[in-house]
Amino acid sequence: MTTKKYHYLFGPVPSRRLGRSLGVDIIPLKTCTQNCIYCQLGKDAPQTLQRKNYVPIKAVLSELEQKINESLEADFITISGSGEPTLHSQLGELIDRIHKMTDIPVAVITNSTLLFDRSVQQDCCKADVVLPSLDAGDSETFKKMNHPHPDLDFDQFTEGLIRFRAEYTGQLWLEVFFCEGINTDSTSVRNIAEQIRRINPDKMQINTSVRPIVHAEAARVSEQRLNEIAARLGESVEVITDFSKHTTTTGKQADLQVILETLQRRPCTLDDLCAGLGLSKKQLQPALVKLDALSKITGETINQKFYYKAV
Ligand code: SF4
C-alpha cells in the first residue's frame, strides 16, 4: 500500500486562472458555507459557518517547507481545495508564514460568503490575489445556484464583497460561474452585471462546467452563449478556457502517488496532467495504465474530452 506523501498539498496542478498552482488544502472535504449545484466535490453535504482550526497549520507549513526544498516550481501557492478556506480561523497567520518562506505569490480562492466578517476580511487582505465568486445578482438565484447556509443573507454577502474590495490593495479577480437555465436569462445577467459594477474587480472571469460534476441541473453553457454573456457583462470580461500552456518535457518519472493525489482533487485530461505535473504524455501514459490496472483510477468522456478520475 502506498503512503500519501502530502496530506495538505496537491500539485502543482494546472489552473485555468493561475497557471501552475500548488494547492494548499486547509479544510476537510466538502466543508463549506454553500452547496453549489456545480460543485465537483459531491452533493448534499451540510453547510457550516463555523470558523475554527480545521487542520493544524504547523503541519501544513512543514509540508510546504518540504515541497519548497524539493525545488518547487509554481506560479502561485493557492489556498483552496476541498471546501471554503476562509472557514479556517488561522488563514491570516498561514498566509503570513508562507510569505516568510517563499517569494511565490499566495492566492486565496473563496466563495465570498464570509467576507462580511471583519476577521475574514483582515485574513484575506494578506493574500497577493483573492479570487472570489459571485454567481448571482439576486437572492433567489443565489439560493438556486449556491444553496447557501440558511443564515447567509444575499445583501450581507454582496455588501461584504464591496467592503472588502474597498479595503484590499491586492488583486481581486472575480469569477461568475454560469449554468444554463439557472443564471443565464437576461434578468439574471443584468442583475449580475449590476453587482459587478458595484464590486469593481481588477479582473472579471466567467466560467461554466467543462468538468464532470454531480448535479444534473448544472448544465453547461455553450461557448457562443458564454461569449454573448461576456459581452453583456463588460469589455474586459474573460471567458476562462481550457488550460493549454506550460507543457514541458523533462526527464522526470511520473510519480503514481502525485498523479493519484491530483486526480483525487479533481478530474483531469491528459493535457491537464501534463501541464500541471510538467511531464510529457509519453511519461504519463504508462503511469496511468498502471493506476488503471490497480483500479485506482477510472475515466469519463465529457464534451468530447476524456477525463481521468480517482476511484
Ligand atoms: S463554494 Fe466551492 S466547495 Fe463550496 S459548495 Fe460551492 S463549489 Fe463546492
Pocket perturbation via mutation, ligand 1, pick of 27, 34, 43, 134 by most ligand atoms within 8 A of CB: 34
Which of 48-51's residues contact partners 24+ apart within 8 Å by CB, and which partners?
Answer: 48/87, 48/149, 49/87, 49/114, 49/149, 49/151, 49/152, 50/87, 51/86, 51/87, 51/88, 51/89, 51/114, 51/117, 51/119, 51/120
Query: DSSP character for 45?
Result: P
Q: Strand 76-80: give its sheet, edge to edge.
A: 9-15, 19-25, 76-80, 106-110, 129-132, 171-177, 203-207, 237-239
Q: Give me the pLDDT at residue 252, please.
A: 47
Residue 214 resides in a domain = yes
Q: Model-level pTM?
A: 0.80
Rounded Cα–Cα distance for residues 48 and 148 (Å): 9
- How many structural domains does the chain have? 1
In this structure, are residues 15 and 21 in contact, taking their beta carbons and an 8 Å threshold? yes
- Blockwise average pLDDT, block size 10, the chain, 311 residues: 71 84 91 89 82 95 94 92 92 97 97 96 98 96 95 96 96 94 94 95 89 67 89 87 36 66 79 72 81 82 80 83
pLDDT at site 235 = 79
Contact 116, 169 (CB under 8 A): no
Measure 63 CA to ligand 1 centroid, in angstroms: 25
**How far lies 26's CA from each of 55, 81, 95, in Å?**
6, 7, 12
CA-closest residue to ligand 1 atom 6: 36
In a 3-state reduction of DSSP, which class is residue 146? helix
pLDDT at 246: 30
pLDDT at 213: 58
> Residues with beta carbon inside 6 Å of ligand 1?
32, 34-36, 39, 41, 83-84, 111
Find the 220 Cα to ligand 1 centroid distance in Å.
Answer: 17
Residue 180 lies in a domain: yes
CB count in 10 Å sphere of residue 136: 25
Instruction: For residues 4 and 257, give the distance between their C-alpha atoms in angstroms, rounded to a whole number.
Output: 7
84-105 per-position pLDDT tens digit: 999 999 999 999 999 999 999 9
Q: Which atom of ligand 1 is nearest to the CA of 35?
A: 5
Per-residue pLDDT, 292: 83
In a domain, 252, yes or no: no
Report yes or no on 258 lying in a domain.
no
Ligand 1: residue of 36, 44, 79, 87 to mutate (most ligand atoms within 8 A of CB) is: 36
Residue nearest to atom 5 of ligand 1 (CA): 35
Evaluate whether residue 58 is within a structural domain. Answer: yes
Interior angle at CA 182, CA 310 and CA 263, nearest 5: 10
- Ligand 1 atom nearest to CA at 30: 3
36 CA to middle of ligand 1, Å? 5
Tens digit of pLDDT for each residue in 194-253?
999 999 999 999 998 766 555 667 778 888 899 999 999 987 899 884 533 333 333 345
Tell me the C-alpha distance between 308 and 290, whole Å: 13
Measured distance CA(67)–CA(63) in Å, rounded:
6
Q: What is the pLDDT of residue 263?
A: 81
Whether 277 and 257 have beta carbons less than 8 Å apart is answered as no
User: Which residue(s) pair with 302 in the sheet?
Assistant: 305
Exposure b/e, 148-182, CB count within 10 A at least 16 = b: bbeebebeebbebbeebbeebebebbbbbbbbbeb
Nearest CA among 203, 196, 206, 209 for reference residue 230: 206
79 located within any domain: yes
Ligand 1, closest atom to CA 33?
A: 4
Question: 177 has which bridge partners?
Answer: 207
- Nearest-CA residue for ligand 1 atom 3 is 83
The position carrying cell 498552482 is 21
How much is the pLDDT for 202? 95
Say if 255 falls within a structural domain. Answer: no
The CATH number of residue 175's host domain is 3.20.20.70
> Which domain, by its residues, includes 142?
9-241
Confirm whether 210 is domain-assigned.
yes
State the pLDDT at residue 291: 84
